[in-house]
């Protein structure tokens, strides 16, 4: 079985005004012949402008969330079709900040993933355990249950990725050891294989990836790229991670 093409995606979270598009342009200018697909996921307010700024470059643009419904009275929300209309080709779904901050369940993440597919977006579905769950020895059970609950069967044969992001590693500077990352990624791979006949989806690692630790993480078994938060805001840092592959 051929290895999935790696994906390195930057999650800008709620950071970035128009001036930050210069960082995106610098990423596009510096990517060169990367061994991975490279994406930036800015706030919804910048998706259209970034997709225009990066048109013709190798850098893909993604959203950070979408509503499961196509349209309706959902003040402040953005549909998958709206993101695609603005130029996004990917969307992050089920990020732990949304699971924790907005009570998003696996079932809701699965519904959003289906909406993304219908809109032609490639979903990046996030999973990950809390520190308490890891300390209780529940990490594999929690993460594989999230994978089973958050990925609808309609993903079969469609491009998507899963991002393993331990909640306690996001924005903290802490990371699991390489064997700990490999253990979870192997469990996710086995779960995907059981769910989908031939799942070639890359399994990304996310949580305090920096230029200094990227090479070790990206070369770990079953790590098919990275979802990068803080270090994606500066082109030099993000390119340092892309170049570590």
Cβ atoms within 10 Å of 156's Cβ, excluding its own? 13
Number of residues binding to ligand PEP, judged by CB under 6 A? 13
Which residues contact residue 222 at a Cβ distance below 8 angstroms, ignoring those fewer than 6 apart?
182, 185, 186, 188, 189, 203
- Of residues 171, 179, 194, 221, which one binds ligand PEP by CB under 6 A? 171
Report if residue 114 touches ligand PEP, rule: CB under 6 A: no
Please identify which residue in the block is written with the tokens 């949304």.
98
- Nearer CB in complex with ligand PEP: 24/231: 231
Please tell me which residue in 95, 97, 104, 122 is annotated as part of the active site. Answer: 95
**Please, what is the minimum distance in Å from the beta carbon of residue 1 to ligand PEP?**
28
Burial class (CB in 10 A: 0-12, 13-18, 19+), 219: exposed
- Of residues 187, 214, 229, 242, which one binds ligand PEP by CB under 6 A? 229
Segment 2 to 41, residues that bind ligand PEP, using CB under 6 A:
11
Is 95 a residue of the active site? yes
Distance CA 98, CA 104 (A): 6
Is 165 a residue of the active site? yes
Question: Residue 176 gets which letter from DSSP?
Answer: -
- Of residues 27, 170, 201, 241, which one binds ligand PEP by CB under 6 A? 170
- β-partners of residue 164 are 127, 205
Q: Using CB under 6 A as the criterion, which residues of the chain lie in contact with ligand PEP when the complex forms? A: 11, 165, 170-171, 206-209, 227-231
């Amino acid at each position: 079985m051929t290895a999935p093409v790696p994906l390195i995606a930057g999650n800008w979270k709620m950071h970035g005004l128009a001036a930050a598009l210069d960082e995106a342009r610098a990423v596009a200018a510096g990517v060169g012949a990367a061994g991975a697909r490279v994406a930036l996921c800015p706030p919804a307010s910048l998706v259209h402008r970034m997709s225009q700024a990066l048109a013709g470059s190798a850098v893909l643009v993604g959203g950070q969330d979408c509503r499961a419904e196509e349209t309706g009275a959902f003040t402040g929300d953005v549909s998958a079709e709206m993101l695609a209309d603005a130029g996004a080709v990917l969307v992050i779904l089920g990020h732990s900040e949304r699971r924790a901050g907005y009570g998003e369940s696996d079932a809701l993440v699965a519904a959003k993933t289906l909406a993304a597919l219908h809109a032609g977006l490639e979903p990046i579905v996030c999973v990950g355990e809390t520190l308490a769950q890891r300390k209780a020895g529940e990490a594999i059970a929690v993460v594989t249950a999230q994978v089973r609950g958050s990925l609808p069967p309609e993903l079969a044969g469609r491009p998507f990725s899963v991002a393993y992001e331990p909640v306690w590693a996001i924005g903290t500077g802490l990371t699991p050891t390489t064997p700990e990352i490999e253990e979870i990624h192997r469990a996710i791979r086995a779960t995907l294989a059981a769910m989908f006949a031939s799942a070639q989806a890359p399994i990304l690692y996310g949580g305090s990836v920096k230029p200094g630790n990227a090479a070790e993480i990206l070369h770990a078994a079953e790590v098919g790229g990275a979802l990068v938060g803080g270090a994606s805001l500066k082109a030099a840092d993000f390119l340092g991670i892309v170049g570590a592959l």
